[in-house]
Amino acid sequence: MIVSKLNLSADGLIEALVCPQPEDQQPVVEDYLNALDCAARQAGYHPAGRAVWRAGQQPGTLECTVAQLPDAVLSDYRGVVMYNLSASSQVDARRAAEQAAQGCVLELPEFAVEAEADFQWQQLHRRLEKSHITLQQHLARLHTTQQLFYEKLRGYARQDLQLRFALLAIARAEGFAVEDEALAAAVKQAQAHHILRPDRMQLRQQLLAQKAADLIWQNTTVQPLPDEGMPE
C-alpha cells in the first residue's frame, strides 16, 4: 500500500489517499485503514476513533479520514482512590479507569462521535437482518422513533469515546506502544471469535487503552469506607 496526500487538516482530522500496489492481492477496506494508521503514526500523528472512507477518483484507491487525538489536560491518573470493591476485579479496574478519565479534560472531536455512531448503526442493521427483523419492528418494540434511537446511540458513542480518548491520551503521555506480536495475537483472537477481517487500527487503539487502564489500576489505592454517619 502507498499512502499519499497525508495531512492534518485545520479542524484536527488526518486525511490521506491510500493506493494499493500490484503485490497487494485483493485488499479489503481493513487493509487500507491499517495502511493509513501506520503511515499516520510514522508521521507523528495519533489516530483516534474510527476512520471513514470513500472511493477515490482512481480505481482501487480510497480516501480515508480519521480524527487526530486532541491535546488533553490529564489529572493524577496514578492517584485514583477507591473506597469499596466489587466481586469482579475487571469491574473495579474499569471503574478506576472511568474515574481517572473523568478528570481528563479534552475536546472530543464530533467527527469521531459521528463515525462511531454510524458504525454502531450499521452493526445494528446487520444484526437485525440476520434475525430477520426489520428496523421498524425493532423500533416499535422499543416504543421509540428512528431519530430518538439514533440520538441515544450517539450518546452511548460519546460516552465510550470519552473514556477511550482519555485512556489514549494517558498512553500517549506514558509513551506506550503496541508491539507487532501483541497486535498479531489480537488479530488471531478476533478471528477466533468469527471476526474474519479485524480492523487493526481499532485493535491497536484498544490495546493502547488497555495498557493505560492497567497502569491506572496498578496505581489505584483502595481504602475502607469512612465510618462517618454509621450508627453506633
Confidence check: pLDDT of 230 > 70:
no
Q: What is the mean pLDDT of residues 194-219?
A: 93
Confidence check: pLDDT of 106 > 50:
yes
Q: Measured between alpha carbons, how far is residue 224 from residues 65, 82, 94, 125 in Å?
A: 47, 8, 19, 46
pTM of the model: 0.87
pLDDT at 231: 47
Distance CA 180, CA 168 (A): 18
Distance CA 131, CA 141 (A): 14
pLDDT digits (tens, 9 = 90+) for 129-163: 888 898 888 888 888 898 898 899 899 999 999 99
Spatial contact of 190 and 146, defined as CB atoms under 8 Å apart:
no
pLDDT at 222: 83
Share of the chain above pLDDT 70, in %: 96
Q: What is the mean pLDDT of residues 177-204?
A: 91
Spatial contact of 220 and 84, defined as CB atoms under 8 Å apart:
no
pLDDT bracket for residue 83 (50, 70, 90): confident
pLDDT bracket for residue 173 (50, 70, 90): very high
DSSP 230: -
pLDDT at 16: 93
Q: What is the mean pLDDT of residues 216-223?
A: 89
